[in-house]
Amino acid sequence: MGILDSKIPSGPLADKWTNHKNHIDLVNPANKRNIDIIVVGTGLAGGSAAATLAELGYNVKTFCYQDSPRRAHSIAAQGGINAAKNYQGDGDSNYRLFYDTVKGGDYRSREANVYRLAEVSGNIIDQCVAQGVPFAREYGGLLDNRSFGGVLVSRTFYAKGQTGQQLLLGAYSAMNRQINRGKILPFNRHEMMDLVKVDGKARGIIARNLVTGEIERHSAHAVVLATGGYGNVFFLSTNAMGSNVMAAWRAHRRGAFFSNPCFTQIHPTCIPVSGDHQSKLTLMSESLRNDGRIWVPKRIEDAQAIREGKLKPTQLKEEDRDYYLERRYPAFGNLVPRDVASRAAKERCDAGFGVNKTGEAVYLDFASAIMRYGKEKALTSGLKNPDDKTLRELGEKVVEAKYGNLFQMYEKIVDENPYKTPMMIYPAVHYTMGGLWVDYNLQTTIPGCYAAGEANFSDHGANRLGASALMQGLADGYFVLPYTIGDYLSNDIRTGKIATDSPEFDAAEQEVRDRIAKLMGGSGTHSVDHYHKKLGKIMWNKCGMSRNAKDLQEAIDEISNLRADFWANVRIPGSAEGMNQELEKAGRVADFLELGELFAKDALTRNESCGGHFREEYQTPEGEALRDDENFKFVSAWEYKGEPKDAVLHKEDLVYDNIELKTRSYK
Amino acid sequence: MKLNLKIWRQKDAKSNGQMVDYPISGIEGDMSFLEMMDVLNEELITKGEDPVVFDHDCREGICGSCSLQINGEPHGPDRLITTCQLHMRKFNDGDTIVIEPFRAKAFPVIKDLMVDRSSFDRIQQAGGYISVNTSGNTVDANAIPIDKHDADEAMDSATCIGCGACVAACKNASAMLFTSAKVSQYALLPQGQVEATDRVLNMVRQMDLEGFGNCTNTGACEVECPKGISLENIARMNREYFSASLKG
């Protein structure tokens, strides 16, 4: 077991969570009133945790960098949320959701955590409906479901293409109820700059008021980090511009181990990069792969002609197109998991078959779906011998009803009509499975410091299935953390208020001030974005969809040099007093410059391919991922020791008692 | 393309602001409006000047952070999109573009184009929720069937992103569309009925306390709303308010 104690309860898998809840220590209501908890981040995990903790009676302070908790990036999730309700009677169960998630994650997640996630998933839907979340319904008035990649049942609940928005606004409304009661004190436009430890325990944070520039001390008996993922280390991603790793990284520097940083999800269907000015990438929902067929030209000269604008995709005959996913994976076709679809697109584009100016795009074509729906519609409307034009018009209407908002979004960005010409898509960084190491109670390796949602590593292994991020965020926040944290806090009922005038707070605040002064004191050669873009290029080219030892070693050296250059030469205009958006960005990029190196180091250490982590040296003759369970069936947990190159690797061995390890096959 | 930008610069909430001219070139049609602002800021930083401060985050039209009054219209000339989804191909070479913050007494300027919209949060805190504990021990999600039309209509109301375009578009700076969207969402669902009376009275009271103006039915809010929130919501809230007042 070593230094890492995952605290997985004993007993049969299905009874672990119930037994655990029955035996953890509780804090009585009168004592909860004397206990303070800080929650950093107010997305699905943080918002739901804050609301529940406040409702239980704790005094909660929330922190977010946005101007309102409602703007956290959970809001951008489109497709849906999984739950093993089995409303469709298609054989779904907690076990199946558990099994699909572990398999989808390529056997790199913890059995007990994933089973608990499946177990509480149904309750999430009950809770959200009670809160007034307007999920999609059938004509009978009951809830509707759709299906997502990598599974054989319909278990995804949704609210149009805005499921994340509706769930987040549900959590936000639960927070608002507690704010109104005075049980949550919200600190918006505030950023956590450091974690404060007293006697080895997390006892507070140093925060910067982003409007006034003031550095503030906040104490608590426990600190919850629900600060999302670190996809923006790639500069271009589907994350929000402000999404960052600062809070998690500050905790890492104070002793929280960082797990599996190289497990990153690259989503196959995003709108391709159009030029150097690009600031962020936009996702096109996975649901499009139900009806869209992915292809590139068969002949390289056709691809070239398309890139030069001499040939249009619609002019290419059926036999001249390579539907490469259908060709390589006949069983799953266009609905293979995200990691597989992304790699296949990269493989074709690297071989010279890309279809846009940059050579980094493939087609997602709805033409056959439009004709198929058109024929169906003609039949049900009793049309006799309709011509192709009529069929197309009818089909377009059906497709519009299904995906209209996505098609409109695409047209606004690309300025092409996706009903008439195929969409162009390319993979983009979307989600990070890695994060702070936590035990079964979601506690990090720092006592009193917890991590929830995307910020922790626990449930998705090496690849996350669609519609599972929302499930995990709310499971952690509503149903797991508020109870497991009581076990820790039951020892704090006599502690009393934590003072903020202690030497520990003095020292932490001074470090924050020194760091800001150092950032402001750069020689002023280049802007923050200059460094962020350079880092992103290194990450994308050498730590992206496929990796090899040589590139990873180069990435480590290049990032290390870039970091030194950044600290010496960054230019931040204005002052640290008051609003300074460049200073905010600089602090975040500084931490990405450390995380990026650890990311490469983690990828270099993991000599296997699994899920989103593809090492070119470890593949089958057909180019599929080659996992090595004998040597790498573990969670990496890195301990901070100064520079990222000095980080020490600890391993948590993964034990599979209930699932047989197999090679994933989608052929 | 080359453009002449006229941008509101204001040091902080207490200082007076003014319009400042910024000529800019090398703008491409594929850039989003905010990417054009990024280009400007990069130039300003290189020159050693303070970049223009503005709110933005998701850059895909859903978080509601971005604002900007562009040539007199919230989120600019295009319909049903936010500023971050507006692309420069909507403008022509040589255009002058006037960029101001959302203007309202209840949205004080923080700096440049960034305003304080916390008044919106306080309206929600006054009653924009259903008082149900988050224990998960509620009834099964399918225990209460809901008419699909009501559920769909509730969803339409619930898609409000809280950006404040409705307030900025309104000559009275009224927050009726914003407030009514939340009141409507709950009014259309059985779960929202229990607290309906208190909710509408409390939310409207808070809206008035924040200094938003009254509604005179000009409909500008509906036209400028990036999510197409309908005026019907205001009508529904008025009905809810009226019946709550009789009970209350």
**Claim to verify: residue B10 and residue B52 sit in the same structural domain:** yes
Cβ of residue B76 closer than 8 Å to a chain A Cβ: no
CATH classification of the domain holding A554: 1.20.58.100
What letter represents residue B163's amino acid? Answer: C
Domain that holds residue B126: 117-247
CA atoms of A404 and A254, how far apart (whole Å): 48
CB B209 within 8 A of CB B155: no
Catalytic residue among A71, A321, A338, A348: A338
Given this model, what pLDDT does residue B248 score? 64
How far is A131 from A135, CA to CA, in rounded Å? 11
Tell me the shortest Cα–Cα distance from A138 to chain B, in angstroms.
6
ipTM surpasses 0.95? yes
Distance between CA atoms of A76 and A98, rounded to whole angstroms? 25
Question: Per-residue pLDDT tens for B127-145?
Answer: 999 999 988 789 999 999 9
Q: How does pLDDT run across A274-301, given as a tens digit for each residue?
A: 888 899 999 998 888 888 999 999 999 9
If asked whether residues B125 and B100 sit together in one domain, one would say no
Q: A506 and A425 share a domain?
A: no
What percent of chain A shows pLDDT beyond 90? 89
**Angstrom distance (rounded) from CA A243 to CA A585:** 10
What share of chain A has pLDDT > 70, as a percent?
Answer: 100
SS3 per residue for A146-205: ECCCCCCCCCEECCCCCHHHHHHHHHHHHHHHHHHCCCEEEECCEEEEEEEEECCEEEEE
B149 near A CB under 8 A: no
Same domain? For B31 and B88 the reply is: yes
B126 & B240 share domain: yes
Q: Which of B71, B95, B110 corresponds to the end of one domain?
A: B110
Same-domain check for residues B23 and B86: yes
pLDDT digits (tens, 9 = 90+) for A80-120: 999 999 999 999 999 999 999 999 999 999 999 999 999 99
Residues A409, B61: contact at Cβ < 8 Å? Answer: yes
Q: List all residues 6 or more positions away from A337 whose beta carbon is below 8 Å from its beta carbon.
A: A104, A149, A150, A463, A465, A664, A666
Q: Is A108 a catalytic residue?
A: no
Kindly state whether residue A477 falls inside one of the protein's structural domains.
no
Last residue of a domain, one of A388, A404, A429: A429
Q: Give the C-alpha separation, B181 to B196, whole Å.
A: 14
Asked whether residue A301 falls in the same domain as residue A402, the answer is yes
Q: Which residues, in sequence order, are CB contacts of A627 under 8 Å at separation 6+?
A: A106, A107, A608, A609, A610, A663
B169 lies in the same domain as B239: yes
Is the pLDDT at A499 greater than 50? The verdict is yes
Query: Where residue A390 sits, what CATH number does that domain have?
Result: 3.90.700.10
Average pLDDT for residues A538-555, to the nearest whole number? 97
For residues A430 and A446, is the Cβ–Cβ distance under 8 A?
Answer: no
Domain CATH code at residue B190: 1.10.1060.10
Q: How far apart are CA A300 and CA A298, in angstroms?
A: 7
Q: Is residue A383 part of a domain?
A: yes
| pLDDT classification of A2: cutoffs 50, 70, 90 | low
Query: Average of pLDDT values for A6-22?
Result: 96
| Domain count along chain A | 2
Tokens of A645: 């190159």
Mutate to test the interface with B, among A60, A73, A126, A281 (most CBs of B within 10 A): A126
* Same domain membership, residue A390 and residue A275: yes
> Residues near A503 by Cβ (< 8 Å), separated by ≥ 6?
none
Segment A182-216, tens digit of pLDDT: 999 999 999 999 999 999 999 999 999 999 999 99
* Pair A373, A281 in one domain: yes
> Is a pLDDT exceeding 70 seen at residue A146?
yes
pLDDT in tens, A556-570: 999 999 999 999 999
* Residues on chain A touching B191 (C-beta within 8 angstroms): 129-132
Q: Do B121 and A578 touch (CB under 8 A)?
A: no
Handedness of CA A408, A76, B227, B88 (dihedral sign): negative
Q: Could you tell me if residue A545 is inside a domain?
A: yes
Query: What CATH number does residue B9 fall under?
Result: 3.10.20.30
Strand partners, A451: A225
Query: What gap in Å lies between CA A356 and CA A87, rounded to an integer?
Result: 43
What distance in Å separates the CA atoms of residue A15 and residue A263, rounded to the nearest whole number?
Answer: 30
Q: Does A276 share its domain with A410?
A: yes
Q: Phi and psi of A96, rounded to 5°?
A: -65, -40
| Mean pLDDT value across residues A484-504 | 97
Maximum CA extent, chain A: 85
| b/e burial code for range A566-597 (CB count within 10 A of at least 16 → b) | bbeebbbbbeeebbbbbbbbbbbbbbbbbbbb
Determine, yes or no, domain membership for A332: yes
Which residue among A429, A459, A482 closes a domain? Answer: A429
Residue A410 lies in a domain: yes
Return the residue in B57, B66, B110 with the most chain A beta carbons within 10 A, the one to mutate for interface testing: B57
Q: Do B63 and A73 touch (CB under 8 A)?
A: yes
A148 pLDDT above the threshold of 80: no
Instruction: Count structural domains, chain B.
Output: 2
Residue B199: strand pairing partners: none
Residues A291 and A404 in one domain: yes
Q: Does A68 lie at the interface with B, CB-CB under 8 angstroms?
A: yes
Inter-chain CB proximity B134 and A48 less than 8 Å? yes
Q: Are residues B133 and B230 in the same domain?
A: yes
- Residue B117 vs residues A66, B56, B60, B70, B114: alpha-carbon distances, Å: 11, 13, 20, 18, 9
Does A547 fall in a domain?
yes
Q: Does A569 touch chain B (CB under 8 A)?
A: no
**Which of B58, B89, B110 is where one domain is finished?**
B110
| Average pLDDT score, chain B | 97
pLDDT band at B64 (very low <50, low <70, confident <90, very high): very high
Residues A399 and A512 in one domain: no
Q: From A429, A453, A484, give the residue that closes a domain.
A: A429
A442/chain B closest Cα distance in angstroms: 18
Residues B86 and B121 in one domain: no
Domain check: are B154 and B50 in the same one? no
Task: Count Cβ–Cβ pairs < 8 Å, chain A vs chain B.
Answer: 210
Facing residue for B42 by CB, picked from A85, A131, A529: A529
Q: B232 and B146, same structural domain?
A: yes
pLDDT at A1 over 70: no
- Please name the member of B51, B128, B158 whose beta carbon is closest to the beta carbon of A573: B51
Strands (E), B78-149: 96-100, 109-111, 114-115
* B233 and B127, same domain (yes or no): yes
| Distances, alpha carbon A357 to alpha carbons A274, A289, A343, A444, in Å | 8, 24, 20, 46
Give which of A468, A414, A149 is closest to A288, Cα–Cα: A149
Interface of B with A in 81-110 (CB under 8 A): 81, 85, 87, 89, 110
Which of B53, B75, B110 is the endpoint of a domain?
B110
Is A154 inside any structural domain?
Answer: no
Q: Are residues A415 and A537 in the same domain?
A: no
Q: What's the pLDDT at B162? A: 98
The mean of the pLDDT values for chain A is: 95
Is A473 in contact with A453 (CB distance < 8 Å)? yes
Kindly report, residue by residue over A151-168, the tens digit of the pLDDT. 788 899 999 889 999 999
Q: What domain range is A383 assigned to?
A: 269-429
Segment among A399-408, A539-548, A569-578, A642-651 with least mean pLDDT: A399-408
Q: Residue A156: CB partners within 8 Å, gap ≥ 6? A: A79, A80, A81, A82, A145, A146, A147, A148, A466, A467
pLDDT at A331: 83
* Residues B234 and B124 both lie in one domain: yes
CA atoms of B57 and A241, how far apart (whole Å)? 5
- B245 min Cα distance to partner chain A (Å): 22
A70–B121 C-beta distance less than 8 A: yes
